[in-house]
Amino acid sequence: MQSILEQVGIGNYIILSALLFCIGAFGILYRRNAIIMFMSIEIMLNAVNLLLVAFSTYHQDASGQVFVFFTMAVAAAEVAVGLAILVSIYRNIGNIDIDNLKNLKG
Amino acid sequence: MLEIVFYILSAITLGTAFLTVYSKNPIHSAIYLVVSFFSIAGHYLLFNAQFLAMVHIIVYAGAIMVLLLFTLMLMNLNKEDEVSKPIYIKFAAVFSAGILALVLISALKTAQPEMIEYVSSNEDYQSIKVLGKVLLNEYMVPFEFASVLLLVSMIGAVLISKKEEKI
């Protein structure tokens, strides 16, 4: 079977993942809505997953894909706990604007 | 042929990811994010990693997006009332993201990871059968710990979002 890496090359995947990661980081810096920041974190995790699968195919080793599987489990756990925290923040201050959370500032 | 598919999929992935971050309405962001997840699943299919493509769609487009949309609807955020950041912070965000992209790409390009020529052996290493064997032999203990993690996060989510009585 012909592999995608013979035609596209690992370098293109590295650039794609780096750009995707930077879009996620940009979202964290640019937005104030906490749910959009969660989505940006998901985008960053997906960039890392994509590169892990690319190198798993490159070295023809199944361990990379198993690691991606664990990353997905951790992402699901993170989203569940994070959204629970957001719901409880929303109950207390009425919105989820990150810049309003400055009770610890003194 | 595959190269064209790769470029189209990459354009969809990057474009929808950027629109996720950029669009004002959170519901639109969620829809764009679903499209982005599906195109990443398409990338996995290009790698012939069927198991990961399926799990990715089930976990991300299924579970995580439903959770995010449910929270969005619960908070009634579908109106565009988000106060945007001051202009100098926006400029700083664009600048630092650009610098990050520059540094990452130049470092990864200079590292020359493609020194070894890629040769495809016809050995089967990513079908569901092989992945299951690797997962349950080599990575048995981490697998069990992942289930403990999911259980703990479930209990934690219920405990955190439970309504507490006013003191």
Q: Is residue A48 part of a domain?
A: yes
Tell me the C-alpha distance between B164 and B167, whole Å.
9
So what's the pLDDT on residue B118?
64
Closest-CA residue of A relative to B18 is A23
Which residues in chain B (32-51) have CB-CB distances under 8 A to chain A?
A: 33, 36-37, 40, 43-44, 46-49, 51
pLDDT block averages, 10 residues each, chain A of length 106: 72 90 92 88 93 88 89 92 89 80 74
What residue ranges do the domains of chain B occupy?
A: 1-80, 81-111, 128-162
A102 located within any domain: no
> Is the Cβ pair A80, B68 closer than 8 Å?
no
Chain segment B119-162, per-residue pLDDT in tens: 666 677 778 888 888 889 989 999 999 999 999 999 999 888 88
For residue B105, the chain A residues in CB contact (below 8 A) are 14-15, 18-19
- Say if the Cβ atoms of A83 and B138 lie within 8 Å: no
For residue A77, what is the domain's CATH number? 1.10.287.3510
Number of structural domains found in chain A: 1
| DSSP label of B59 | I
Is residue A45 a part of any domain in this protein? yes
Q: Does B84 touch chain A (CB under 8 A)?
A: yes
Q: Map chain A to HEC letters.
A: CCCHHHHCCHHHHHHHHHHHHHHHHHHHHHCCEHHHHHHHHHHHHHHHHHHHHHHHHHHCCCHHHHHHHHHHHHHHHHHHHHHHHHHHHHHHHCCCEHHHCCHHHC
**Second-level CATH architecture of B1-80:** Up-down Bundle (1.20)
Kindly state the average pLDDT of the residues B64-81: 79
Residues of B in contact with A90 (CB under 8 A): 75
User: In terms of residue numbers, what domain contains A39?
Assistant: 9-94
- Could you report the predicted ipTM of this complex, rounded to two decimals? 0.90
Indicate whether A42 belongs to any domain.
yes
CA B106, CA B86: separation in Å to the nearest integer? 31
Q: Which of B160, B29, B47 is nearest to A24 (CA)?
A: B29
Average pLDDT over residues B67-80: 78
Residue B113: count of CB within 10 angstroms of its CB = 12
Q: Residue B115: what pLDDT?
A: 56
Q: Per residue in B25-53, pLDDT tens?
A: 888 999 999 999 999 999 999 888 888 99
Of the partner residues B2, B33, B105, the one whose CB lies closest to the CB of residue A4: B2
